[in-house]
Structures are given as C-alpha cells and as structure tokens.
Amino acid sequence: MSPPPQPYELAGAAALALRRRLPQAPAAVVVMGSGWGDAESHFGELEATVAAESLPGFPEPTAPGHTGAVRVHRLGRRLVLVLSGRVHLYEGYPAATVVHGVRTAVLAGAGTVVLSNAAGALRADLPVGRPTMIADQLNLTGTSPLVGPPPPPPHAGRFLEMGGLYDLGLRRRLREIDPSIRDVTYAGVLGPQFETPAEVSMLAGMGADVVGMSTVLEAIAAHHLGARVLGLSLVTNLAAGLSPQPVSADDVLEVGRSSASELGRLLVEFLANLETAGELG
C-alpha cells in the first residue's frame, strides 16, 4: 500500500483539478467566514461553481454558515475564487486540512488571499456589526500548518518570517475605500467553546482586540506560499464579561446576515480597485 500524499502534494493535485475547470488561472481567493456568505451576492457574474468534494482533499464543512463550494467570479479580466466555507480545528481536522482550501487556491494561481471571519470584541469600544482589518495575529491554537515535511521548491522552506504577514499594501488599499476601518490584532483560538471572562481578560492583556476560531493557520499557509494576505474580522458580539448578554452562535450568524450588503460592497470595491490598478494577483 502506498503512503498517503503529503499535504503539499494533495494541495497541488487539487489545484491541478481546479485549474482544468477554469478558463484561466485565478488571481485571488476570498474565504467567507461565519455570516459572510450573503456578501457574495455583490460579486456579480458567476463563471463557474465547483463542488468542493470533487477536488482532492476537500472535506465537507460541518460548522453553521459554512458550505462546501468553490465559486468562481469574473472581475474585469481576472477570476476571483470564493470559498463559501472553511473547516476548523474544532471539527476534528488537522492543521493541514484546515488550510487545504487556501493552499489549493494559491497553488492554482491566486496571489491575493482575503480571509474573513466573525469575531468577538475584547474591547467594548469596537462596534458590533462593523468589519475591522487585521494588522497582526496571535496564533493560540497550539499548532501550525508548517509542521511536517516542508514544501518542494520553489516555495519557502521550513522556517518563515512573519513580520509582514498581513500585507501593508493591501491594507492601505482597503483604507482608501474605508478610512474609518479599525486595525485589530486577532487572537485565533481552538474553540469550539466561547471564551470565559477570565480568558477574555487574559487575551486583552496579551494585546488582542478580537478573538475567533479560524484564520490564523490559513494566513500562515498563504504567506508561506508567497501570497499577499488581507484579513477582515466582522465584530459580531462583545466577548464574555463585556456584555450582560450571553454569546450565541445564532446571534453571530444573524449579525453577519444583517451586515452582508456592507461587507459585499467593501470586498467588491476593494478587489475591483486592485484589478483596475493591475495589482490583483
């Protein structure tokens, strides 16, 4: 019996299978976080839809608000992939599976990666229902997508410089569209339980502004393969201890749905401006 394929081999096979279904290489990929799905309605022309389970290594998401599809939109002369869901460590998947969709997209040609998520605010002055821009992150999941064999050349080796994880040029472009958007440090935790008041206090003391259960591993994996990364966190609730109301997964999704139009317009204008400037990809 032959050994199972290594993570980069599997992502390469999935990228090849995806490319065979597309008229050209994608320039960007957008990962839709919890509650962000309705924002895709603003993306315009749909070029194709690829069932994720038809691509090697893609599992079926089980988290609420996440579906298993790769949708392909045309934006000017370029293609943008939209991953309508992601899988998480708390679903029982290893780090390599959690980042498989992003790795596949980058190996298929996407040089720009937009990671969105729903997050709880660790500061009472962050307004619920508004997106924030990730300037830095704390990976508190206890793992890394880089554990294991390094990728083959020409990709980066085992060790990775993380100072420029969230691309400054992309962040500047987004701020041109929305000067009021707040920079945050995102704490990525394992979940699936929400944080206790003591944990909220600890995370805030460590320098985090928002907390969630995704994104950090995908950002590392995309940066490792040379892609530019933009991170967006929709503040869906105040974390435990900052509000008298208990945190609810249903409320998280509802805030996303009510914010979908604003989120969609922001994403499309951002990507369209990059495409017009020749910076998409």
Listed as ranges, residues in the chain with pLDDT below 70 are: 1-4, 35, 37, 61-68, 248, 252, 256
Query: What sign does the dihedral 89-95-96-99 (CA atoms) show?
Result: positive
Q: How much is the pLDDT for 64?
A: 56
Burial 142-173 (b: 16+ CB within 10 A, else e): eebbbeeeebeeeeeeeeeeeeebbbeebbeb
CA 28 – CA 113 distance, rounded (Å): 6
Q: Which two tokens stand for residue 154?
A: 């020409």
| pLDDT value of residue 43 | 79
Q: CB of 219 within 8 A of CB of 92?
A: no
Domains with residue ranges and CATH for the chain: 7-154+163-276 (3.40.50.1580)
The region, left, alpha or beta by phi > 0 then psi within -120 to 50, assigned to residue 76 is: left
The amino acid that residue 17 corresponds to is A
pLDDT at 2: 55
C-alpha 44/C-alpha 30 separation (Å) is 14
| pLDDT confidence of residue 189 | 97
Taking the C-alpha atoms of residue 232 and residue 118, their distance in angstroms, rounded to an integer, is 9
Q: Would you state the pLDDT for residue 37?
A: 67
Q: What is the pLDDT of residue 74?
A: 92
d(CA 9, CA 134): 30
pLDDT of residue 35: 67
Q: Is this prediction's pTM over 0.85?
A: yes
Q: By C-alpha distance, which of 210, 220, 205 is closest to 158?
A: 220
Assess whether the previous peptide bond of 154 is cis (omega < 30° from 0): yes
Query: Which pLDDT does position 264 carry in this prediction?
Result: 83
Residue 256 has a pLDDT of 64
Quote the pLDDT of residue 3: 60
